[in-house]
């Protein structure tokens, strides 16, 4: 019906927004990109169209192409803190970690409680090998009142990466809040973080959590999700289970879908058993 509405009246901005949300929820990124290209051609001053095109291009691995659209969105809407955050994402994807940190901190100037930008600062620091600074940033997150946008899954993921003792209780809180919750840059489910935190303590409970993650991921893929997140999550699930051939297959699929953060993957505790595997080393040397 929304597709028909746009065909009948291409100027229906709300129809674009609604249809775009449906495409994104299903992971139909190619269809969403086409939708916003049409909207941008029809209405070049639409900040939403520029922002969403930039998001899709970054998310699918085309960070260089994403930046002009995100900058355009910020020109049209200078208060657009999500567009500013996505600029940070694009620079992280490009391996320009100092610039990524700078852009995330600019987001925090616009919206100080933006939990994704706080996490982004930490990931930029981790990618740059600045672990002490990343831990200090994590302490800021742990002691602050931030927005309610998947706060626990973000903080538990960082704690797990940094081997912080608080990872398990925060992972449990993340699962209680939303079992399917995930976010960039790894896109692992709350249940995967919980499973990883439990592996050394309660293998049966860990396996149940990882089973749930795999079910969530495969359901997304069966509906045509084109993004890297369920693929990276499956790589993590299989790695934690010791199923290395499958883990490597899904990691390669995530890279093909746009995921490319090798400086994080080389240190990711979810992939620790893969690090010396020749296929992993070759994959991390790929240029995309």
Q: Helix (H, G, I), strand (E, B), or coil: what is residue 199?
A: coil
pLDDT surpassing 80 at residue 7: no
- Cβ contact 41:33 at 8 Å: no
133-190 pLDDT, tens digit per residue, is 999 999 999 998 899 899 999 999 999 999 998 999 999 999 999 999 999 999 999 9
Q: What is the mean pLDDT of the chain?
A: 91
So what's the pLDDT on residue 39? 83
So what's the pLDDT on residue 82? 97
C-alpha distances out from residue 50 to 43, 131, 166, 208, 256, Å? 10, 34, 39, 41, 24
The closest alpha carbon to 31, from 41, 23, 39, belongs to: 23
Average pLDDT over residues 62-87: 97
Percentage of the chain with pLDDT > 70?
A: 93
77-134 pLDDT, tens digit per residue, is 999 999 999 999 999 999 999 999 999 999 999 999 999 999 999 999 999 999 999 9
d(CA 159, CA 154): 9
Q: Is residue 38 very low, low, confident or very high in pLDDT (cuts 50, 70, 90)?
A: confident
d(CA 139, CA 129): 17
d(CA 107, CA 116): 9
Average pLDDT over residues 211-221: 97
46-60 pLDDT, tens digit per residue, is 999 999 999 999 999
pLDDT surpassing 50 at residue 4: no
Residue 8 makes CB contacts below 8 A (sequence gap 6+) with none
Average pLDDT over residues 245-269: 96
So what's the pLDDT on residue 33? 83
So what's the pLDDT on residue 144? 87
Percentage of the chain with pLDDT > 90?
A: 79
Per residue in 2-26, is it b (16+ CB within 10 Å) or e — as a string?
Answer: beeebeeeeebeebbeebbeebbee
Cis status of the peptide bond prior to 89, with omega within 30 of 0: no
Element (H, E) at 252: helix 244-256
Residue 33 makes CB contacts below 8 A (sequence gap 6+) with 53, 56, 57, 60
Cis status of the peptide bond prior to 185, with omega within 30 of 0: yes
d(CA 230, CA 174): 18
pLDDT surpassing 60 at residue 71: yes
Backbone angles phi, psi at 9, to 5 degrees: -145, 90
196 vs 13, more confident: 196
pLDDT surpassing 60 at residue 207: yes
The closest alpha carbon to 263, from 77, 91, 58, 123, belongs to: 123
């Amino acid at each position: 019906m929304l597709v028909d509405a746009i065909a009948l009246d291409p100027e229906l901005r709300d129809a674009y927004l609604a249809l775009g949300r449906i495409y994104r929820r299903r992971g139909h990124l190619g269809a969403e990109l086409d939708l916003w290209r049409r909207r941008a051609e029809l209405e070049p001053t639409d900040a939403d169209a520029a922002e969403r095109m930039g998001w899709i291009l970054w998310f699918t691995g085309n960070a260089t192409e994403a930046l002009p659209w995100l900058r355009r969105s910020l020109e049209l809407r200078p208060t657009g803190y999500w567009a500013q955050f996505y600029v940070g994402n694009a620079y992280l994807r490009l391996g320009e970690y100092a610039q990524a940190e700078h852009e995330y901190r600019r987001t925090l100037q616009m919206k100080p409680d933006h939990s994704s930008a706080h996490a982004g600062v930490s990931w930029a620091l981790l990618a740059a090998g600045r672990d002490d600074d990343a831990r200090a940033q994590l302490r800021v997150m742990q002691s602050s009142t931030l927005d309610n946008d998947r706060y626990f899954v973000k903080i538990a993921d960082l704690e797990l990466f940094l081997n912080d003792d608080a990872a398990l209780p925060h992972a449990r809180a993340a699962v209680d809040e939303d079992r399917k919750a995930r976010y960039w840059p790894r896109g692992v489910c709350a249940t995967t973080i919980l499973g990883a935190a439990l592996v050394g303590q309660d293998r049966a409970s860990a396996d149940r959590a990882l089973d749930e993650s795999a079910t969530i991921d495969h359901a997304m893929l069966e509906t045509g999700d084109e993004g890297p997140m369920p693929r990276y999550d499956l790589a993590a699930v299989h790695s934690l289970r010791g199923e290395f051939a499958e883990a490597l297959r899904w990691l390669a699929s995530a890279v093909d879908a746009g995921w490319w953060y090798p400086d994080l993957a080389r240190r990711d505790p979810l992939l620790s058993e893969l690090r010396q595997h020749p296929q992993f080393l070759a994959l991390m040397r790929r240029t995309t």
